[in-house]
Amino acid sequence: MISVIVPVYNGKETLVRCVQSIRNQTCEDLEIILVDDGSTDGSGALCSALSREDARIRVIRKENGGVSSARNRGIEAAKGEYVLFMDSDDYMEPVMAEKMLEGIGEDDIAICGFHHHYQGRDIIRIPEVPGQSGEENFLSLYGQGFLNMPWNKLYRRELMGSFDESLSLGEDLLFNLDYLRRADGISVVKEALCHYIQDDTGVSLSSRKRTDRLELAKRIWREMRAFYRELSGHEDESGIINGRLIQEVLDMVEALPFDEEKSRKEKLEIISEFCKDSELRQAAENAALKALDYKAVHFCMRRGWFRLAYDLCELRAALVRSRQKAAEQAAEESGKTENP
């Protein structure tokens, strides 16, 4: 049996879609664990109503403690041999459970592709691995961003640890690394079997959040380097692990134009601080970057061209806003067509 764990916090608008996608699985040997994390929007009552419709649904109530604590409660309550996670605003393809069970075989974890819904686009992401060695496949999956999240994976419950409830960033990846230390074999299912809905609103970073995010990103970087040394017996020479840290920093830099609370001078000071950080400078020496915007901003930052780096981010932000506006207009026009 598969235990599907769904943390629920104020997810009333999307919860029915999520739960219905699980109920409609072609693999019926599953239980659905809804963990109501102190919702205040009526999601708790909706969980109860859904449980009355399907005997496979169980509801757990707890005080609000965050998604990690909700997942941990779900793991404690799970009875299945396998575990899947799904967030309440996401949903599954009808064959996800069946395909993941087929895919895991004798291995200890299965990883699948997904649909990434963002800014009006459906971006299909499929994992690709070279297949030459375990360490190469691990690096490839990490570089493509398939190891960070829990909701595109099938786990064996007996091997699972717990999520670090003290963290607000990177806890999913650290959970997966902890699991992989006990696992023997990774299976890759080259199909997009779930739908990840990303909030496309603007990002506003406070100084505290920026500092925390950087320190957490560096902790993950250190953990990844240590894990890879354990796995391979040597350092990562490909630059993939360093590249992921630098990408995290560049994401923070590219989000600065959306922060209306800071002046341009304050934003340039933030970029300057990033450039002076000794660990970031170390990682930047050997960082594999693919996206052109990352490469351009990184090139400027390494040379101390803070203003030009920020100007490039402003240009990118203008393009993002333009694309968002176009998507909104298209959705509005589509609505008018459907409801003349």
Q: How far apart are CA 302 and CA 306, in angstroms?
A: 9
Rg of the chain taking only CA atoms, in angstroms: 21
Q: Tell me which residue has tokens 């994992």.
A: 127
- Which distant-in-sequence residues (6+ apart) come within 8 Å of 145 by Cβ? 125
Q: Compute the Cα dihedral for 188, 190, 194, 196 and give only its sign.
A: positive
All domains of the chain in start order, with CATH: 2-197 (3.90.550.10), 207-319 (no CATH)
Go through the chain and tell me how many residues it has. Answer: 340
Per residue of the chain (340 residues), give pLDDT as tens.
999 999 999 999 999 999 999 999 999 999 999 999 999 999 999 999 999 999 999 999 999 999 999 999 999 999 999 999 999 999 999 999 999 999 999 999 999 999 999 867 899 999 988 876 778 889 999 989 899 999 999 999 999 999 999 887 789 999 999 999 999 889 999 999 999 998 654 333 333 444 588 888 999 999 999 999 998 899 999 999 999 999 999 999 999 999 999 999 999 999 999 999 999 999 999 999 988 999 999 999 999 999 999 999 999 999 988 887 887 787 777 766 666 6
Q: Are 240 and 288 in contact (CB under 8 A)?
A: yes
